[in-house]
Structure 1
Amino acid sequence: MQKSMKPSVVVVDDDSMMREMLKLILLSEDYPVVGEAANGQAAIALCAREKPGLVLLDINMPKMDGMQALEEIHKASPATVVLMVSAEATLDKVREAMEKGAAGFVVKPLNPASVLDRVAKCFNGKK
């Protein structure tokens, strides 16, 4: 029996340790991580090239923050699902991200079960 195809993933965070943790969590459930970036500008270029099904996108990064990158990623590929990653999941930040097209939030510090639950809900049509 063949496994169902899971969406390809791009992980974006300026903290290399956080990127590695997210990758390990995703790989533990066979999500193919096709790339990673440390800032919004690199994320946009990577997403244009890889066309991932999912982007895990940190909010606070150098060069271009996650909110700006979110807008650009959605302009180029409206079907790409974006989950924001932040330690600062205030109501205002959540509302702003959702208005710009984010599918949801993953809160730092990371809880592997919560990350996987958020990802799964994005693709099961539940937010």
Structure 2
Amino acid sequence: MGKKVLVVDDSSTIRQQVNLALSQAGFEVVEAEDGADGIRQLGVHPDVAMVICDVNMPRMNGLEMLAQLRGTPRVPPILMLTTEAAMDLVAKAKSLGAKGWMVKPFKPDQLVAAAKKLTAA
């Protein structure tokens, strides 16, 4: 199995699309439907090499998840994958530790390239 990626998005369709693209590229994918579930999944899967996270989700959004993860010892690189393109949101996410930002709809090859780059440590 390849490196493990956690996909956090409230849309099951987006999670399936991301899972398909990454699985075909050799990644192992774990899914979560919001930020709270994402944090729980990181506890269950400490070997996650990267997180792909939406911004707008119920219960706990992507920025809240970033803020909560900020104080934890080992936070994998996080790529925000969202419909949002506002520069203030991008800046806020990066200030909270996000390593990248990609706007939906995404091209599978660009997503795979970003995943390979962020997991190349």
Q: 1:28 to 1:118 in 2, by over 3 A?
A: same
Of 54, 57, 60, the match for 1:58: 54
CA distance in structure 1 between the aligned counterparts of 2:24 and 2:73, rounded to whole angstroms: 27
Identity %: 32
- State the 1:98 CA deviation: 0.7
Per the normalisation by structure 1, the TM-score is 0.86
Mapped contact 1:89–1:107 kept (Cα < 8 A): yes
Query: In the alignment, what sits opposite 2:33?
Result: 38
Query: In the alignment, what sits opposite 1:78?
Result: 74
Query: Unaligned regions of 5+ residues in structure 1, if any?
Result: none
CA distance in structure 2 between the aligned counterparts of 1:75 and 1:23, rounded to whole angstroms: 28
Mapped contact 2:8–2:31 kept (Cα < 8 A): yes
- State the 1:47 CA deviation: 0.8
Mapped contact 2:50–2:118 kept (Cα < 8 A): no
AA of the residue aligned to 1:23: N
- CA shift digits 1:48-72 (9 cap, x unpaired): 1102111111100000100011122
- CA shift digits 1:73-99 (9 cap, x unpaired): 343243411111111122111111111
Of 4, 11, 23, the match for 2:7: 11
CA distance in structure 2 between the aligned counterparts of 1:71 and 1:44, rounded to whole angstroms: 11
**Structure number with higher relative contact order (C-alpha < 8 Å, ≥ 6 residues apart):** 2
Per the normalisation by structure 2, the TM-score is 0.90
Mapped contact 1:9–1:56 kept (Cα < 8 A): yes
Q: Structure 1 residues 89-98 or 60-69, which shifts more?
A: 89-98
The secondary structure found in structure 2 opposite 1:11 is strand
Q: Aligned-pair RMSD on alpha carbons?
A: 1.6
The correspondence of residues 83-98 of structure 1 with structure 2, limited to 5 A, is 83-98=79-94
Query: In the alignment, what sits opposite 1:47?
Result: 42
